[in-house]
Homo-oligomer: A and B are copies of this chain.
């Protein structure tokens, strides 16, 4: 329990609220900000002046409206000048991007990640990507830090990757390794962007679970805008979950919440990489679909797409495979719907492909498992930001501190 804020805290809160609004919604007129934020015009004017001085927003007259009276200035985030670096570490690839305030990807690089690639071999090309992108950045631009999304369990306290079973990493300080690889000047620029100088061993990148950060991005600017209860599922070899309840992420005590891929759905099922048996991802992940389609010799999202395409063309075995995966997908979503009573479930990664051909099967099983009241306003959706969500979400980790207190 805490008492109410001081006037200075209120002012900083208002600065952050205004900056967050244009970060999420893009260019907004002062008139709209006045109404959306519930502040009067002179307060809005003072706040935008302060943010403009800090180089975080710009203001300009709108295009001619043809209406009488002085038009309201339009406030824009300085997307080209204020940015964060984002890293995404996935089963089959590694990606890096430079993301501007407002969530615009300004530049990007990617490389394949052979399965089994270790941390040291991943951070070298990633550091190269960042150096390469950094060469193209103007002198007047400001880096506010770096963020990293990874398909694994991330300790909130220090960003250590405790377990990324599908990537094969255990207790890895990936941010520290990448910061060391970046070395000297660039690393310290990232560090000063973060506003805290030497981060110690933890490195300069804030680390989050890929499904978690993607869920937040789809919630703030994608398929789940306006929904306060959202389940975002991301499938590849494993299945990750990012859950938003009451408008806030369900992260759990240590930051490991949302491991829905390891909800056991079939006690008599297949062994899972986690050591348990019959976890949801053993029934709906890439291996399950390829096994059921008699394509155990293949792997990767391309192979999944081929099965889905074959099913769409009427191939009997592929159709049965997709149907069975869809059935288990609906089953597990039904369980989650009973637990969370969400408005939206979003299918990302390979689950998107499965959903697009097996929606009826998924709905049918979901409806059998989920209580009517829990599913009555539920919508099933595909991501709007697609694969960009992990990059934008990684950058959001770095932007978050700026938005909390824009004058740091």
Contact = CB atoms under 8 A, between A and B. Distances in A.
Given A10-B5, A256-B371, A267 B264 contact: no
Contacts of A243: 339
A371 B274 contact: yes
B37 A17 contact: no
Contacts of A267: 265-266, 331
Given A264-B334, A264-B369, A252 B257 contact: no
Interface residues of A, number: 73
A313 B402 CA distance: 62
Contact of A4 (B5, B162, B264): B5
A228 interface: yes
A303 interface: no
A102 B227 CA distance: 35
A76 to B, nearest CB: 17
A400 to B, nearest CB: 14
A169 interface: no
| Most-contacted residue by chain B among A17, A259, A260, A339 (CB, 10 A) | A339
A156 to B, nearest CB: 10
A250 B334 CA distance: 17
A67 interface: no
Interface string A328-343: 0001001110111111
Interface in A105-131: none
Contacts of A268: 268
A246 B254 contact: no
| Most-contacted residue by chain B among A243, A253, A260 (CB, 10 A) | A253
| Most-contacted residue by chain B among A7, A228, A374 (CB, 10 A) | A374
A260 B338 contact: yes
Contacts of A256: 341, 371, 373-374
Contacts of A241: 339
A152 to B, nearest CB: 10
Given A3-B39, A4-B9, A339 B373 contact: no
Contacts of A2: 17, 37-38
A258 interface: yes
Contact of A341 (B251, B266, B275): B251
B339 A258 contact: yes
A1 B254 contact: no
Contacts of A14: 3-4
A264 B374 CA distance: 14
A153 interface: yes
Nearest to A276: B369
A153 B371 contact: yes
Nearest to A277: B368
A324 to B, nearest CB: 13
A124 to B, nearest CB: 27
B10 A254 contact: no
Interface of A: 1-5, 7, 9-11, 13-14, 17-18, 20-21, 36-39, 43, 153, 155, 162-163, 227-229, 241, 243, 245-246, 248-260, 262-268, 274-276, 331, 334-336, 338-343, 368-374, 376-377
